[in-house]
Amino acid sequence: MSDTPPADDDTVPSARALLKERDYLFFWGTRWTGSFAAQIQSVAMGWQMYALARQTRSVEESAFLVGMIGLAAFLPVFLLTLPAGEAADRYDRKKVLLLCLTGEILSVLALAVATVQGWASPALLLVIAALFGASRAFFAPANTALGPMLVPRRLLPRAIAWNSLAWQTASIAGPAAAGLLVARSAETAYFTTFALYGVSALLVLSIRGNAKPETNPGSRWQLMKEGLAYVWRQKIVFGAISLDLFAVLLGGATALLPVFARDVLHVGPEGFGILRAGPAIGATLVALWLAANPIRRKAGLFMFAGVAVFGLATIAFGLSKSLWLSVAALAVLGGADMLSVFVRQTLVQLVTPDHMRGRVASVSSVFIGASNELGEFESGVVARILGPVGAAVFGGVGAVAVTALWAKLFPDLRRADRLE
């Protein structure tokens, strides 16, 4: 990656220079609050689905329904990813974000009211998950593509790093906060999410700069094909996002945490909150380590190592019978995931030109959505067959196998060196 100049001169400005960019600060705030809210909503819906299903169904059947939330959220992302990327490269990106946040505010409010009134059901949760997926399909590419428009070119490398940090820290804090909130009640988690989405929308409204990209020539279909062709040709981009897809698709043990908390470790909602904090603990420690010791060389090897450790920690979690050993395994899992995600996101954004960012981000988002939401579905299906413990172990073994296979299939990704 060393052939990409980090700025207009030979030096990279300090992070303090970003503090002078008013619009970027509001953007960073909306990126963080929106991601934080989405994490809380996702965790709360999984816990509530399992609690509702266990009233009348077995452990295996209830775990399967938890996985169905992931499938319901993923299908709209898959179906809408190409038009969402094209929209991010054609329309005002700020307006796209506001429309998405409005949809999320209304859907989570409906879910909160239904929970308070006692109307919540597995069917309602699946409908809300589908609406949530449709909104995030358009939110992700517009959000990713907007950030670089709000800073001078010389600050772009710093902005990319801080964009990643916003998403990563929200992914750290969100599940941990959700575990604590659902221990109190599901409606508490939903109303908190509602407030966070509202803050995110206000921050978007505070951005004054131009958010409409330069007009791209060609029809919508031509632009969508161009985005797909670019991702396919850039083997570092394709290898990085597909590695994440298959590794997390197989190793999505965190989707089964409600099952483990209630019927494997028998620790209830309080224990669920502690388990949910496990990945956050590990990810926080690794994030702090990366801040003090940024990766300078052999970035590709670091990413592959992170995915491999992620798989091994998933196996350890599945086999554990102790709450604290499970928390330790989840902490290692979270730290390894943080390492691989940091490298992947930085690599992808650095090699993508600005006029392609929306479409590349949309393709990346469908891969990420597949890894997370379809990973939940895969875990639910396998848990229906092998039970929750067997599903976790199976997923961990699969993640390790994918790491070895991708290291062979994508040598350029394995040899990626500097994150500059």
Report the 3 state secondary structure along 204-264.
HHCCCCCCCCCCCCCCHHHHHHHHHHHHHHCHHHHHHHHHHHHHHHHCCHHHHHHHHHHHH
**Structure-token match 């979690």, residue found:** 317
Angle at 87 between CA 82 and CA 92, to 5 degrees: 160
Residue 317: closest CA among 335, 304, 303, 331: 331
Residue 157: closest CA among 357, 8, 373: 8
Assigned domain for 4 exists: no
Query: Which band of pLDDT confidence, cut at 50, 70 and 90, is reported for residue 301?
Result: confident
Name the residue with higher pLDDT: 123 or 367: 123
Assigned domain for 11 exists: no
Q: Is 69 exposed, middle or buried (0-12, 13-18, 19+ CB in 10 A)?
A: buried
Name the residue with higher pLDDT: 366 or 26: 26
Q: Are 136 and 38 in contact (CB under 8 A)?
A: yes
- Tokens at 307, concatenated: 């995915």
Name the residue with higher pLDDT: 67 or 46: 46
Instruction: Report the distance separating Cα 134 and Cα 385, nearest Å.
Output: 30
| Per-residue confidence (pLDDT) for residue 167, from 0 to 100 | 74
Instruction: Report the distance separating Cα 142 and Cα 131, nearest Å.
Output: 18
Residue 87: closest CA among 180, 220, 228: 220
Residue 268 Ramachandran class (φ > 0 left, ψ -120 to 50 alpha, else beta): left
CA distances from 291 to 144, 294, 296 (A): 22, 6, 12
Assess whether pLDDT exceeds 50 at residue 2. no
Structural domain that includes position 27: 18-209+219-414
Assigned domain for 198 exists: yes
CB atoms within 10 A of CB 353: 8
- Tokens at 14, concatenated: 């300090």
Q: Are 268 and 260 in contact (CB under 8 A)?
A: no
Name the residue with higher pLDDT: 219 or 262: 262
Assigned domain for 2 exists: no
| Per-residue confidence (pLDDT) for residue 344, from 0 to 100 | 76
Radius of gyration of the chain (CA): 20
| Per-residue confidence (pLDDT) for residue 10, from 0 to 100 | 43
Compute the mean pLDDT over every residue in the chain, rounded to the nearest whole number. Answer: 80
Query: Which band of pLDDT confidence, cut at 50, 70 and 90, is reported for residue 9?
Result: very low
Assigned domain for 314 exists: yes
Domain total of the chain: 1
Residue 66: closest CA among 382, 304, 368, 417: 382
CA distances from 313 to 38, 107, 318, 400 (A): 25, 35, 9, 10
| Per-residue confidence (pLDDT) for residue 362, from 0 to 100 | 64
Assigned domain for 419 exists: no
Instruction: Report the distance separating Cα 239 and Cα 232, nearest Å.
Output: 9
DSSP 343-407: HHHHHHHHTS-GGGHHHHHHHHHHHHHIIIIIHHHHHHHHHHHHHHHHHHHHHHHHHHHHHHHHH
Assigned domain for 148 exists: yes
Assess whether pLDDT exceeds 90 at residue 145. no
Residue 266: closest CA among 254, 275, 277, 253: 275
Assigned domain for 177 exists: yes
Question: For 266-277, how does the pLDDT look when each residue is reduced to its tens digit (9 = 90+)?
Answer: 887 778 878 877
Question: For 367-412, how does the pLDDT look when each residue is reduced to its tens digit (9 = 90+)?
Answer: 665 556 666 677 777 888 888 888 889 888 988 998 889 888 888 7
pTM of model > 0.85 = no
Q: Are 273 and 258 in contact (CB under 8 A)?
A: no
Residue 216 backbone phi and psi in degrees, to 5: -95, 130
Instruction: List the CATH number of the domain containing 391.
Output: 1.20.1250.20
